[in-house]
Amino acid sequence: MADHSPSTIVVPIIGTTLFRLVLNTARRFAYPFAPALSRGLGVSLSSVTSLIAINQITALLGLFIGPFSDRLGYRNMMVFGMAILGIGMLTVAFSPSYITVMIALLMAGLGKSIFDPAVQAWAGDRVPYHRRAVVIGLLETSWSASTLIGIPLVAVVMNRFGWQSPFMLMGVLGCIGTVALLFIIPKETEKGRTNPHSAAYFGTFLQLLSNRPALGTLGYAFFVSAANDNLFVVYGAWLEKNFGLGLVALGLGTSLIGIAELAGEGLTAAISDRIGLKRAVLVGLCCSGLSYLLLPWLGTSLPAALTGLGILFFTFEFTLVTSLTLSTELLPENRATMMAGFFATAGIGRVVGALMGGFVWQAEGILGTGCISGALTGLGLLCMVFGLKKWKPVT
């Protein structure tokens, strides 16, 4: 394992968290600003939302890139991911059109699918297992920060300088990040890589699919992601129908989710190492499942409903970030492949959850949504128990 002294960890962690904030913002900003993009491009709203749906493919592409990270080095792939983001965003800034926006969003998604497994694997390689949740928790604050900081900043820039301006801003920041990462991430030597002479490309996938803890975790990632998106795509409709909330109030509700996510990431950093990652994930899953089941009964008042949503996203984020930390040790010789598999199956789960969410809501309302999401979380718990039975970390 590479040197993991504080002096070699702090600056890289701060830097990668900040630049990952740019990646996450680029990945998420099209959702709330789809109407503004459609007006700017002169196309229908459905045309823009189709681009967002197509972007989900990049999570699957990341699975096939993971083994390259294990061979070419995590630093190199992080730099490559940032470069793809920067180039993609700048194509819209200099040549705005529907096609270049499609290219930009695809490249932003691809950049994130390359960057995320590499940075998680890098942290797993550099940080001892018993301290890893602190680092992963800090890295994951870039996700909630994209809601609390990134998207509001995009709104200000877009309102002041036009719909193309966020592409220019994120493109420039992506290029800056590409160069900066070369200086702040220590260069990996052949000796310092986790397993530069590991199995052949397809052999890596065989190792992933024949590893019981890895398979259980992939199943868990699918089910909990499906459960979350099954609710996420309709929570706004629920609040609007039950309490008559407008756009501004729904925006505040989204900020509440960002705060809950940040709290979950903070709790991961604070306690997961102390109580043990396996125990933390299992407890978090139980609490998350109960939160889904209780949510329908909290619709009697707006404060109760918002509290329920806050608890739900808090427990979900705590569980997810802790499980990411745990996953970095499940396949130590091919960490990036493991993390890419995690993100890919989670991405498939999100697509399934989003597709079923509307039908469940229309058929059974929030009661059906809560029960289905709770049941899916229960399946995720069973997968994790199956996978982690008798498993212990090597380090």
Taking only the tens place, the pLDDT of each residue in 113-156 is 899 989 988 988 888 888 888 888 899 899 888 888 888 888 88
Mean pLDDT of 367-382: 96
Q: Amino acid identity of 110?
A: L
Tell the burial category of 301 from Cβ atoms under 10 Å away from its Cβ (0-12, 13-18, 19+). Answer: exposed
How would you class 208 by CB atoms within 10 Å of its CB: exposed for 0-12, middle for 13-18, buried for 19 or more? buried
Radius of gyration of the chain measured on its C-alpha atoms:
20
76: left (phi over 0), alpha (psi -120 to 50) or beta: alpha
77-118 pLDDT per residue, tens: 999 999 999 999 999 989 999 999 999 999 998 999 899 989
Spatial contact of 237 and 369, defined as CB atoms under 8 Å apart:
no
Question: Distance between CA atoms of 185 and 140, rounded to whole angstroms?
Answer: 18
* pLDDT the model gives residue 384: 95
Structure tokens at 146: 């994209």
Helix crossing, 6-28 with 132-145: angle to 10°? 30
Separation of alpha carbons 338 and 117, rounded Å? 8
- How close are the terminal C-alpha atoms of the chain, in Å? 10
Domain spanning 203-388: CATH superfamily: MFS general substrate transporter like domains (1.20.1250.20)
Q: Are 293 and 371 a contacting pair, CB within 8 Å?
A: yes
Confidence of residue 1 (pLDDT cuts 50, 70, 90): very low
Confidence of residue 194 (pLDDT cuts 50, 70, 90): very low
Q: Give residue-wise pLDDT tens across range 225-260.
A: 999 988 887 887 788 788 876 655 666 666 788 899
The class level of CATH for 6-197 reads mainly alpha
Confidence grade of residue 43 (pLDDT, cut at 50, 70, 90): confident
Amino acid sitting at position 170 = M
Task: Report if pTM > 0.85.
Answer: no
- Looking at the chain, the domain(s) classified CATH 1.20.1250.20 span 6-197, 203-388
d(CA 382, CA 109): 30
Do the Cβ atoms of 170 and 19 come closer than 8 Å? Answer: no
Report the alpha-carbon distance of residue 289 to residue 158 in Å, rounded: 38
Tokens 């990996």 map to which residue? 188
pLDDT score, position 370:
95
Cβ-proximal residues to 252 (8 Å cutoff; 6+ apart), any chain: none
